[in-house]
Chains A and B, each alone.
Chain A
Amino acid sequence: MAVEVRIPTILRTYTGGQKAVPGQGGTLSEVIEDLESNHPGIKERLVEGEDLRRFVNVYVNDEDVRFTGGLGTSVNDGDQVVVLPAVAGGCAPAVVAAWSTTDGI
């Protein structure tokens, strides 16, 4: 399945500045593996262990994948996958860092 993946500004360092890149796979997980093979390092920014990172949102055709099976969400030819980092923060001290570190502040 060929899909389009929309890349947020902060991850465009992995895609040579491109806002959207093609991806392949039958599930979101496979699409991310395919992205990783073309843009090494990007998977680490999206996935932690067996799941999406807490502060990374991924949508397949405008549906938040947290409600459609997470990384197992199926994708079809022509689907659009959008990656958006959460816009979040606050004075609370006990929230894990979002992407690159997992030190659990």
Chain B
Amino acid sequence: MLRIDRATYDAIVAHAKRDHPDEACGVVAGPEGSDRPERFVPMVNAAGSPTFYEFDTVDLLKLYKEMDARDEEPVVVYHSHTATEAYPSRTDIGLAMEPNAHYVLVSTREHGNSDGPVEFRSYRIVEGSVTEEDVSVED
């Protein structure tokens, strides 16, 4: 199960809405081994695309060095789908390289940049196999 606090959940949703119709992406870092997503880090989608996302390679190195220095890991890796459901695509599965992360998918297909509910779902993706998990938003 993914346990995430309300403020971080809201920040992910707001980022996804803001970047719609392009895909938004980022991580929530947390202490290594803690499984606690604590530090929200929105990233630029270097692909700037409605169908693909990729962290800029310079930003990526900076992020990982920063996490390393703080003994953190990416507890959540999130991105949005803007025209399809919040379920990992074959591309998402093929490129999922963080076996310990919760992969969060947000779909903005219903309301785009506007207010309104979004699909917010979480998965484990390990060696090509996808397992959906419950999301508990904690106030």
Specify whether A and B are partners.
yes
Task: List the interface of chain A (C-beta within 8 A of B).
Answer: 8-10, 55, 57, 59, 62, 64, 66, 82, 84-99, 101, 105
Check A89–B73 contact: CB distance below 8 A: no
Number of B residues with CB within 8 Å of any CB on chain A? 36
Q: List 15 A-B contacts (CB under 8 A).
A: A57-B61, A64-B57, A64-B61, A88-B52, A89-B91, A89-B92, A90-B47, A90-B52, A91-B23, A94-B91, A95-B52, A95-B94, A97-B95, A98-B95, A105-B94
Taking CB atoms, residues of chain A closer than 8 Å to B64 are 82, 84
Check B55 against A89 for contact (C-beta < 8 Å): no
- Whether A10 contacts B97 in the complex (CB less than 8 A), given A66-B57, A87-B77, comes out as yes
Nearest A residue to B27 via CB reads: A87
- Taking beta carbons and an 8 Å cutoff, which residues of B are in contact with A? 23, 25, 27, 43, 47, 49, 51-55, 57-58, 60-61, 64, 73-74, 77, 79, 81-84, 88-92, 94-100
Q: Which residues of B contact A64 (CB under 8 A)?
A: 57-58, 61
Nearest 10 pairs between A and B by C-beta?
A85-B97, A97-B94, A90-B52, A88-B54, A89-B92, A92-B51, A95-B91, A87-B55, A92-B52, A91-B84
- For the complex, what is the distance from the CA of A8 to the CA of B100, rounded to whole Å? 12
